[in-house]
């Protein structure tokens, strides 16, 4: 993953110095091409992640669209990093693009260990992936605004917590 350091000791040192909550957003290309199968896989991922995330204080949401997955993870930095390391090895997707890894004051998806917000409107995820590749090639900064667009669209697709 471009922009993702393989030096775990350095990552941990930064997180120890900051503490608190972090949010990580990424977009990736799904390996499954059939729409029905892709929805099934996304639900399986969300269900499995939800069971695991609760034990390490992670919250977040997963969505799909344009043949891509997008996910937001929130929680303690080390737990977010450990989870993202596992995500990078998952064979159900490729071309993982880290959009954002930032400290946060509060959780956007509080109370949801891993929500599945369904399929986003066409163009949102594909646009984020294309913009990320362009920014990498140009050697330019962040696509954090795309991460915010995706997270907002995810929130809109969720049912209120009862």
What is the maximal distance between C-alpha atoms in the chain?
Answer: 45
Q: What is the pLDDT of residues 137-157, one digit of tens each?
A: 555 555 555 666 666 666 666
57: left (phi over 0), alpha (psi -120 to 50) or beta: left
Is the confidence at residue 3, as pLDDT, over 70? no
Is the confidence at residue 6, as pLDDT, over 50? no
Q: What is the pLDDT of residues 12-29, one digit of tens each?
A: 655 555 678 999 998 888
156 three-class SS:
helix
pLDDT reported for residue 144: 58
30 beta partners: 93
Q: What is the pLDDT of residues 61-98, one digit of tens each?
A: 998 888 888 899 999 999 999 999 999 999 999 888 88
């Amino acid at each position: 993953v471009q922009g993702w350091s393989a030096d775990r000791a350095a990552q941990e040192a930064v997180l120890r110095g900051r503490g608190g909550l972090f949010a990580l957003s990424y977009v990736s290309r799904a390996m499954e091409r059939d729409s029905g199968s892709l929805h099934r896989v996304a639900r399986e991922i969300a269900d499995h992640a939800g069971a695991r995330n609760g034990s390490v204080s992670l919250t977040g949401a997963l969505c799909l669209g344009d043949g891509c997955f997008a996910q937001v993870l929130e929680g303690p930095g080390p737990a977010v990093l450990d989870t993202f390391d596992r995500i990078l090895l998952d064979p159900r997707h490729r071309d993982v693009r880290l959009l954002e890894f930032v400290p946060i004051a509060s959780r956007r998806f509080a109370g949801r260990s891993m929500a599945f917000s369904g399929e986003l409107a066409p163009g949102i995820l594909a646009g984020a992936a294309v913009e990320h590749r362009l920014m990498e090639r140009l050697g330019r900064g962040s696509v954090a605004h795309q991460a915010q667009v995706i997270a907002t669209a995810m929130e809109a697709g969720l049912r209120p917590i009862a």
